[in-house]
């Protein structure tokens, strides 16, 4: 974990900007006029009590929901209505609150699935296992094996993920998202339901991803301690509105955050 | 973490169908003369090749979490079209049957992926429609094939001492296994069956994968129809009834989950052979003359055996699964 006095990574310009985003489902307001940005190379946390609109926010960013108002700019490009596969192709990777792996497939195949979008050779060349298709396959396989080493899941390479304990499934899901080489990685409660040891492991992996792969990370988390240690900057949502935005220290001192969140025992 | 199940049990569950198949072969070998004789083995392979093709297509469909009820009447339609075109030669007959199957598959694919109709309902409709088309084209009777153009070689011929239909099925299964295990397409098929939502969100072509399995299933059913016509010398508009159930049974016995996301091409072939051999063994049993089972009783015995294999398999698989 990063000690408080470690210098923060040099942050680049904004990779993603959320401007005045509102999201309504019928009469229910999930998000109201939320604005913030995510800078290149940082770990950005979105926190808030249950029902604050955190997952809705992520869903807007990767195009799963379309904001009723406002706009989202990714890599300088503002899209009125982006769809999830466009987000994926554009470089936004994602994990889910409830693990969304392919349960019958092995760890290796699940992570390999993250590479399919990058494969260029056609079906028939892959079928013949010849020439460029074969070279490409070997390259992707090597990339995947690197991720497996990185996440220390060599021992479960060939295990169907449905048979793995929850903590490991979360790790495999992170691996699958990494395989897509995202520029922006969205993690929806990466540590939900984990024990302390698993949480520490996962925190370490998230920091390593950020530093080694240079991936910009936006994460939603419930566990306050974890968030404060991990993130460069934190956005706090409550009832769909932004109530605070800043470094972990600033946010921790903010009276509205304390009232809304920290004061409540969890 | 659950304690890892004994390796042997895990292996048994994966290869349960193969073990059942070997046990059945051993039983037949010990009990009947000529069971493993060249004639019997080659006849079983020749006759079951069409079921194998239909089951392969069905396996892909089921792996995506779908179902294709139209394969039986698609095969019937394929056999009629092939028979009608057989006077023009082997190739027109073959391509005609394939095209008929592809056409039905294309309708299935469009209705399921574009109109979002459940596969069960969509393919039930095309099953009726394809059957009607077959009867219309054939004028409500079987259409004899031409014996002059070499078309019948596709069903009755041999190549290097091995039946042509069995060669075709073997090639299809080889290509099918590689396609499933070693191409992005195959993995996407399994991914769609495992978690369609996640597949879409990852930007993978979920609809294309789903559409493709119905096209493949249709084409293979059409090909099975070509072999049917060539083997029995006639296009059969009323054949194919219940083929879809045979195929589903073979796929399920092979360990592919009906819910999708898990499956194997090799085990599907073992499932086809298992079902085919039960039939073969019952014939031998009748031949011994000690008991005489009518066709109806044969169905009962087949069903009971099938149930037995599935139950044993579920038990074995359950023991390796962690309690949810």
Domain closes at, from A181, A208, A224? A181
Q: Is residue B114 part of a domain?
A: yes
Q: In this structure, are A116 and A240 located in the same domain?
A: no
A161-174 mean pLDDT? 89
Q: Which structure tokens are listed for B152?
A: 């019948």
Q: Which residue of B has its CA nearest to A177?
A: B202
| Closest-CA distance of chain A to residue B285, Å | 40
Q: In this structure, are A53 and A139 located in the same domain?
A: no
| Tokens 């309902």 sit on residue | B121
Q: What is the CATH number of the domain that holds A239?
A: 3.40.50.300
Q: Which residue of A has its CA nearest to B176?
A: A127
Contact B190 A96 (CB under 8 A): no
Per-residue pLDDT of chain B in tens (324 residues, 90 and over written 9): 444 444 555 555 567 788 889 999 999 999 988 889 889 999 999 999 999 999 999 999 999 999 999 999 999 999 999 999 999 999 999 999 999 999 999 999 999 999 999 999 999 999 999 999 999 999 888 888 888 888 888 889 889 989 999 999 999 999 999 999 888 899 899 999 988 988 888 888 899 999 999 999 999 999 999 999 999 999 999 988 889 999 999 998 888 888 888 888 999 999 999 989 988 888 888 888 777 777 788 778 878 877 887 777 777 665 544 433
Chain A residues 156-215 with a CB less than 8 Å from chain B? 160, 162-163, 165, 176, 180
Q: Is residue A163 part of a domain?
A: yes
Q: In this structure, are A34 and A8 located in the same domain?
A: yes
**CA–CA gap between residue B316 and residue B8 (Å, rounded):** 10
The alpha-helical segments, DSSP class H, found in chain A are 54-61, 84-90, 107-113, 123-128, 132-150, 166-179, 196-208, 224-230, 248-253, 255-257
Q: Which structure tokens are listed for A76?
A: 């300088």
Task: Find, among A69, A59, A54, the residue nearest to A243 by Cα.
Answer: A54
Question: Measured between alpha carbons, how far is residue A141 from residues A173, A174, A177, B91 in Å?
Answer: 17, 17, 15, 41
Exposure of A153 by Cβ count < 10 A (0-12 exposed, 13-18 middle, 19+ buried)?
A: buried
Length of chain A: 266
Chain B residues 183-242 with a CB less than 8 Å from chain A? 183-185, 187-188, 190-191, 193-195, 197-204
Q: Cα A4 to chain center, whole Å? A: 23
DSSP tally for chain A: helices H, then strands E: 10, 10
Contact A126 B185 (CB under 8 A): yes
Q: Which structure tokens are listed for B127?
A: 């099953």
Q: Which residue of B has its CA nearest to A93?
A: B202
Number of domains making up chain A: 2
Question: pLDDT (tens digit, 9 = 90+) per residue, A212-231?
Answer: 888 999 999 877 777 888 89
**CA–CA gap between residue A240 and residue A34 (Å, rounded):** 8
Q: What is the DSSP secondary structure assignment for residue A107, as one 8-state letter? A: H
Cβ of B258 under 8 Å from any chain A Cβ? no
ipTM of model: 0.74
Question: pLDDT (tens digit, 9 = 90+) per residue, A226-263?
Answer: 788 889 999 998 888 998 899 988 888 888 888 876 55
What was the pLDDT predicted at A5? Answer: 42
| Closest-CA distance of chain A to residue B324, Å | 9
What was the pLDDT predicted at A193? Answer: 81
Number of domains making up chain B: 1
List of chain A residues whose C-beta atoms are within 8 Å of the C-beta of residue B184: 116, 119, 123, 126
Q: In this structure, are A174 and A206 located in the same domain?
A: no
**CA–CA gap between residue B203 and residue A88 (Å, rounded):** 5
Considering only residues A119 and B1, tell me which one the structure prediction assigns the higher pLDDT.
A119
Q: At what angle are helices A196-208 and A166-179 packed, to 10 degrees?
A: 10
Q: In this structure, are A227 and A241 located in the same domain?
A: yes
Q: Phi first, then psi: what are they for A237, rounded to 5°? A: -110, 145
Q: In this structure, are A145 and A257 located in the same domain?
A: no
Contacts of B19 (CB under 8 A, 6+ apart): B12
Q: Is residue A96 part of a domain?
A: no
Q: In this structure, are A155 and A186 located in the same domain?
A: no
Considering only residues B227 and A49, tell me which one the structure prediction assigns the higher pLDDT.
B227
Q: In this structure, are A266 and A187 located in the same domain?
A: yes
What was the pLDDT predicted at B321? Answer: 46
User: How many A×B Cβ pairs under 8 Å?
Assistant: 93
What was the pLDDT predicted at B317? Answer: 63
Q: What is the CATH number of the domain that holds B223?
A: 1.10.3470
Q: Which segments within chain B are labelled E, that is strand?
A: 143-144, 158-159, 162-163, 234-235
A138-153 mean pLDDT? 91
Domain closes at, from A165, A181, A197? A181
- 8 Å CB contact between A170 and A190: yes
Q: Which residue of B has its CA nearest to A126?
A: B183
Structural domain that includes position B225: 7-320
Q: Which structure tokens are listed for B132?
A: 């009607």
Q: At what angle are helices B295-320 and B7-14 packed, to 10 degrees?
A: 150
Structural domain that includes position A111: 101-181
């Amino acid at each position: 974990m990063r000690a408080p006095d470690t210098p923060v990574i040099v942050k680049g310009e904004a990779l993603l900007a959320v401007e005045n985003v509102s999201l309504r489902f019928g009469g229910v307001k999930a998000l109201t006029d939320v604005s913030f940005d995510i800078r290149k190379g940082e770990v950005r946390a979105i926190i808030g009590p249950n029902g604050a609109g955190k997952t809705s926010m992520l869903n807007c960013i990767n195009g799963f929901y379309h904001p009723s108002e406002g706009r989202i700019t990714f890599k300088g490009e503002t899209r009125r209505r982006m769809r999830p596969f466009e987000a994926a192709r554009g470089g936004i990777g994602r994990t889910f609150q409830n693990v969304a792996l392919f349960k019958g497939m092995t760890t290796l195949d699940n992570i390999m699935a993250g590479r399919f979008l990058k494969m260029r050779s056609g079906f028939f060349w892959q079928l013949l296992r010849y020439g460029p298709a074969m070279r490409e396959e070997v390259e992707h396989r090597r990339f995947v094996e690197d991720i497996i080493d990185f996440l220390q899941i060599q021992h479960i390479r060939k295990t169907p993920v449905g048979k793995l304990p929850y903590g490991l499934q979360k790790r495999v899901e992170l691996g699958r998202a990494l395989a897509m080489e995202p520029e922006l990685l969205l993690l929806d409660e990466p540590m939900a339901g984990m024990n302390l040891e698993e949480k520490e492991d996962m925190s370490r992996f998230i920091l390593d991803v950020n530093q080694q792969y240079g991936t910009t990370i936006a994460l939603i988390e419930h566990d306050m301690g974890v968030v404060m240690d991990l993130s460069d900057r934190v956005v706090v949502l409550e009832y769909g509105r932004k109530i605070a935005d800043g470094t972990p220290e600033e946010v921790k001192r903010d009276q509205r955050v304390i009232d809304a969140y920290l004061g409540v025992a969890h | 973490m659950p304690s890892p199940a004994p390796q042997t049990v895990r292996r048994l569950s994966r290869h349960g169908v193969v073990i059942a198949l070997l046990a059945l072969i051993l039983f037949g070998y010990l009990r009947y003369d000529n069971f493993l004789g060249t004639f019997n083995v080659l006849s079983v392979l020749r006759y079951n090749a069409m079921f194998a093709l239909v089951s392969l297509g069905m396996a892909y469909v089921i792996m995506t979490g779908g179902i294709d009820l139209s394969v039986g009447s698609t095969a019937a339609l394929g056999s009629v079209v092939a028979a009608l075109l057989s006077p023009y030669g082997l190739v027109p007959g073959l391509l005609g049957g394939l095209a008929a199957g592809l056409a039905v598959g294309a309708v299935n694919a469009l209705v399921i992926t574009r109109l979002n109709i459940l596969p069960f309902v969509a393919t039930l409709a095309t099953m009726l429609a394809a059957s009607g088309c077959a009867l219309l084209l054939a004028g409500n009777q079987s259409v004899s094939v031409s014996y002059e153009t070499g078309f019948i070689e596709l069903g009755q011929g041999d190549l290097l001492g091995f039946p042509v239909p069995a060669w075709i099925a073997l090639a299809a299964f080889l290509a099918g296994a590689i396609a499933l295990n070693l191409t992005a397409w195959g993995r996407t098929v399994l991914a769609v069956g495992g978690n369609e939502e996640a597949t879409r969100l990852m930007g993978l072509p979920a609809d294309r994968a789903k559409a493709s399995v119905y096209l493949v299933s249709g084409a293979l059913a059409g090909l099975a129809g070509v072999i049917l016509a060539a083997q029995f010398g006639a296009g059969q508009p009323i054949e194919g009834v219940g083929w879809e159930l045979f195929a589903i049974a073979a796929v399920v016995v092979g360990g592919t989950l009906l819910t999708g996301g898990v499956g194997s091409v090799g085990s599907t072939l073992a499932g086809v052979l298992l079902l085919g051999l039960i039939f073969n063994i019952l014939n031998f049993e009748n031949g011994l003359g000690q008991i005489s089972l009518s066709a109806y009783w044969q169905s009962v015995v087949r069903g009971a055996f099938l149930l037995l294999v599935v139950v044993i398999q579920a038990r074995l698989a359950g023991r390796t699964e962690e309690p949810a």
